Amino acid sequence: MKTPEEIGALVRDAFTGATGEFRPCAFFDDRLDCIRVIARDCSVLETRINPYLTVLEDNYYRETDRKPYVGFTIKGARHFCSQHGFDLNSPIDISALLDAILKAFPGVAVELFVNGVARPLVKEGKIERVEIPSVSGSLPHPHPV
């Protein structure tokens, strides 16, 4: 059995390594079949726009902070992309994906979401593409783009 001092040393050693700095990213979550775009690393509240679109809001947003919106998700992503002619064998342009969302879901709420939240987030975060593996079974992991 290890002493508390030895356990403490093991924990410090495990967490002492250099940690990567957060970078805005877009990635495909295979288990949930969704694209996640995350522009800021923080605790979030998910607010559904429609059955396919969810906006991520900073849980601790204050009026003095930047903006309350920190990301979004697109559910049913593999099916949506296939249905709208995106090639799953190459990275998908986020701007083209947002254009397809506007066409697929006409309406004021989606238009406000895409043009007022999603486009500014991807522009400011310099998030250009997302990869959707054509074969399921891989574990999701963020890929900065």
Looking at residue 139, what is its pLDDT? Answer: 45
Whole-number Å distance between alpha carbons of 70 and 78: 23
| Position 77, amino acid | A
DSSP the chain: ---HHHHHHHHHHHH-SPPPPP--EEEEETTTTEEEEESS-S-EEEEESSSSEEEEEETT--TTSS-SEEEEEEESHHHHHHHTT--TTSPEEHHHHHHHHHHHS-SHHHHHHIIIIIHHHHHHTT--EE---SSS-PPP---B-
Looking at residue 18, what is its pLDDT? Answer: 58
0.85 surpassed by pTM: no
Query: CA torsion, points 7, 8, 14, 15, in degrees to nearest 10?
Result: 160
Whole-number Å distance between alpha carbons of 140 and 26: 11
Confidence of residue 3 (pLDDT cuts 50, 70, 90): confident
Whole-number Å distance between alpha carbons of 138 and 38: 20
Among the listed residues 105, 40, 109, the one whose alpha carbon sits nearest the alpha carbon of residue 72: 40
Per-residue pLDDT tens over the stretch 68-110: 999 999 999 999 999 999 988 899 999 999 999 999 999 999 9
Write out the two tokens for 105.
Answer: 């879901």
Looking at residue 1, what is its pLDDT? Answer: 62
Using alpha carbons only, how large is the chain's radius of gyration in Å? 18
Looking at residue 63, what is its pLDDT? Answer: 73
47 pLDDT more than 70: yes
Looking at residue 71, what is its pLDDT? Answer: 95
135 pLDDT more than 70: no
137 pLDDT more than 60: no
**Mean pLDDT over the full length of the chain:** 85
